[in-house]
């Protein structure tokens, strides 16, 4: 069997400067800091306010600093995959717009929509481009401008989300580092519990749909919570078992940041202490496709070459999964 794997060789991220904290939300809807922190773990989130700037703007910032860190140019990139559910436009793809903004002329590019699992789906996809042997530099970026689809009069959703982008570079590795395994799943019966309806071909944007608020993010939080808590924990336990890993073998769990309680349940099931879990939900909230790469970016300084790292996510669809990788460098 080939020992060629896709290793993460650089990470970067970008979040907007503007902060929306729980106290500001108290002025906007009937809520309070204590409720939000106890139920979700979130204290504040970032909001992209720059006029005319969409998801590609944030992704471009993250990728430009990624390239600078690795000392390569945009023309060195072979593939760009953008995991997002808030594309700038219906088409061309956000990845396409990113290519133009960073000046990438040699890359194939496309968007991947798997909601909050988007980044791990895109990572597995990017990993297979590398394993084909045909592509040497693959950028996987998770980016979402959630503020564009949030109803800031709905207290059940507006407290949860923020905007941001995180990117990784994948390169071939034959020395035992990189992506070892992944389990990715879908259950389409979740489609009515977590969605944004009024943008698509089945239910296009019409004045009536806008008045009904169909273009906004919608979630049945309690029902989604139950699925998320079991599915994310189950799949993470499954990937550990399949790779003969115990909690002690795991250096870090890097989970999607939707709710601190879901993260705690997953860590407990894996036998991993919270000291080995990357958390930034308190600062950024749920940035959908960006939560996991933003965590990788923030915790990169703590990761050591050879660390066993498990990524886990759950999101709309439903989609969920886990990826097991060995970290490839010391920073
Ligand atoms: O990332 C994609 C996947 N998404 C997720 O994984 C999210 C999963 N769901 C959740 O994280 C949680 O369900 C929420 C954080 C969204 C909600 O927490 P909860 O503990 O499930 O609360 P709840 O919806 O059951 O609401 C409990 C109470 C209700 O009042 P009553 O009926 O008990 O009187 C709500 O009306 O809290 C009320 N409530 C609020 N109170 C203050 C709902 N939102 C708020 C709020 N502030 N913002």
Domain boundary among 177, 197, 217: 177
Tokens 């060629």 belong to 4
- The count of residues in the chain is 331
99 belongs to the catalytic site: no
Query: Exposed, middle or buried, 133 (CB in 10 Å: 0-12/13-18/19+)?
Result: exposed
Shared domain check, 154 and 59: yes
**Same domain for 226 and 119:** no
Domain extent for 138: 5-177
pLDDT at 199: 80
Full-prediction pTM beyond 0.95?
yes
Mutational pocket test of ligand 1: of 20, 164, 222, 256, the residue with most ligand atoms within 8 Å of the beta carbon: 222
pLDDT value of residue 198: 76
Residue 174: closest CA among 136, 126, 120, 123: 136
For the CA of 40, the closest atom of ligand 1 is 15
* Ligand 1 pocket check for 31: Cβ under 6 Å: yes
The mean pLDDT values, 10 residues at a time, for the chain of 331 residues are: 90 98 98 98 98 98 98 98 97 98 98 98 98 98 98 98 99 98 97 89 89 93 96 97 98 98 97 98 98 98 98 97 98 91
Smallest CA separation from ligand 1 atom 42, residue: 31
Indicate if 93 and 212 belong to the same structural domain.
no
| 3-class SS of residue 255 | strand
Nearest CA among 1, 4, 8 for reference residue 176: 4
Pairwise CA distance, residues 229 & 206, whole Å: 36
Number of compact structural domains in the chain = 2
Q: Are residues 137 and 168 in the same domain?
A: yes
Specify whether 151 is located in the same domain as 221: no
Q: What pLDDT, on a 0 to 100 scale, did the predictor assign at position 29?
A: 98
């Amino acid at each position: 069997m080939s020992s060629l794997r896709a290793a993460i060789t650089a990470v970067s991220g970008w979040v907007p400067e503007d902060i929306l904290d729980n106290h500001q939300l108290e002025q906007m809807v009937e809520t309070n800091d204590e409720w939000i922190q106890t139920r979700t773990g979130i204290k504040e989130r970032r909001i992209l306010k720059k006029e005319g700037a969409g998801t590609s703007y944030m992704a471009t910032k993250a990728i430009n600093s990624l390239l600078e860190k690795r000392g390569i140019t945009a023309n060195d990139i072979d593939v760009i995959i953008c995991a997002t559910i808030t594309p700038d436009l219906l088409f061309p793809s956000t990845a396409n717009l990113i290519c133009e903004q960073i000046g990438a002329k040699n890359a194939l590019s496309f968007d991947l929509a798997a909601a909050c699992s988007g980044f791990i789906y895109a990572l597995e996809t990017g990993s297979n481009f590398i394993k084909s042997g045909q592509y040497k530099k693959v950028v996987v970026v998770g980016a979402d401008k959630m503020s564009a689809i949030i109803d800031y009069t709905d207290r059940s959703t507006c407290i949860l989300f923020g905007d941001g982008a995180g990117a990784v570079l994948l390169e071939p590795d034959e020395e035992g580092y990189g992506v070892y395994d992944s389990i990715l799943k879908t259950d389409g019966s979740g489609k009515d519990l977590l969605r944004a309806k009024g943008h698509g071909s089945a239910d296009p944007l019409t004045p009536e749909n806008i008045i009904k608020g169909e273009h906004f993010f919608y979630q049945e939080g309690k029902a989604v919570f139950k699925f998320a808590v079991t599915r994310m924990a189950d799949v993470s336990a499954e990937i550990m078992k399949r790779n003969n890993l115990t909690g002690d073998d795991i250096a870090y769990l890097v989970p999607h940041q939707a709710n601190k309680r879901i993260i705690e349940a997953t860590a407990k099931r894996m036998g991993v202490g919270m000291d080995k879990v990357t958390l930034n939900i308190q600062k950024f909230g749920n940035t959908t496709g960006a939560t996991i790469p933003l965590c990788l970016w923030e915790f990169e300084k703590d990761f050591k070459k050879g660390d066993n790292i498990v990524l886990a996510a759950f999101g709309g669809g439903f989609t969920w999964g886990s990826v097991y990788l060995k970290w490839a460098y010391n920073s």
